[in-house]
Amino acid sequence: MGAAAWFYLQDFSAVHPAAVRVQKLADIQPAMSRWAPWAAAYVGQYVVPGFFGMTGLASLWRRWRNRRLMRRALGNPRNLASGMDWREFEHLVAEIFRRKGYSVSMTENSADGGVDVVLYRRGTRSFVQCKQWRSAKVGVGVVRELYGVMAAEGVEEGYVVTCGTFTEAAKDFAHGLDIHLIDYYDLCEWMGVSPYGR
């Protein structure tokens, strides 16, 4: 894509527009309309391919990082709790869903109503909240928070994913709703590894 843009813009910018003599204010607009497209193409032949190149490199880096996280988790699933930070855990969860056939979008910050990952599949959008809690169980408040965001956004399916477990109150609240509670053992099953490690 970047190479095609470069060739197109390079050909366009190679043809200089005819000079326009500006003698009065009324001459500025015709001069601008003749030279502005050429100037945009001249600058664009360097900027546009650079943008596509940087986007491609960023995508490659994200793939490498997510595969590395998956290898760490597959090598020893206990790394889910103690071998990575909360953001790495979110990226790992996103990679697991990606491998299950979802299109995945990460949210940018934590001020998003508790949604860490957005899933897309067959025209359906789902929200995922990740909790890398190592000691405390995930309680009903977390599930209620996600349910509230889902209701506000018109999203019918949600997931709360943790490397720990859930309280009975959280399970009771999620029962009958399209909110799936995925604990450490479910994650291990999805990855096809023993929850007890090596």
The residue ranges of every structural domain in the chain are: 2-59, 77-191
- Domain spanning 77-191, CATH class: alpha beta
Nearest by Cα to 195 from 71, 68, 78? 78
What is the per-residue pLDDT for 74? 67
Q: Given this model, what pLDDT does residue 131 score?
A: 92
Q: What string of pLDDT tens digits covers the 198 residues of the chain?
A: 555 554 554 555 555 555 555 556 665 666 566 656 656 666 666 665 656 556 666 556 667 766 776 777 767 777 776 777 888 899 999 999 999 999 999 887 654 467 999 999 999 999 999 998 777 799 999 999 999 999 999 999 999 999 899 999 999 999 989 999 999 999 999 988 888 765
- Sign for the CA dihedral angle at 147, 151, 152, 154 comes to positive
State both tokens at 117: 């990952």
Structure tokens at 185: 């053992």
Q: 131 φ, ψ to 5°?
A: -130, 105
Question: How many other C-beta atoms can be found within 10 angstroms of the C-beta atom of residue 56?
Answer: 12
Q: Are strands 157-162 and 179-182 parallel, antiparallel or unpaired?
A: parallel
H helices present in 76-183, as ranges? 79-82, 86-99, 140-153, 168-174
Cα(147)–Cα(155) distance, rounded to whole angstroms?
9
Closest by CA position to 193, among listed 76, 98, 93: 76
- Residue 86's pLDDT is what? 86
Q: Residue 79's Cα: distance from chain center in Å?
A: 22
pLDDT for res 6: 46
Alpha-carbon torsion, ordered 64, 69, 72, 75, to 10 deg: -90
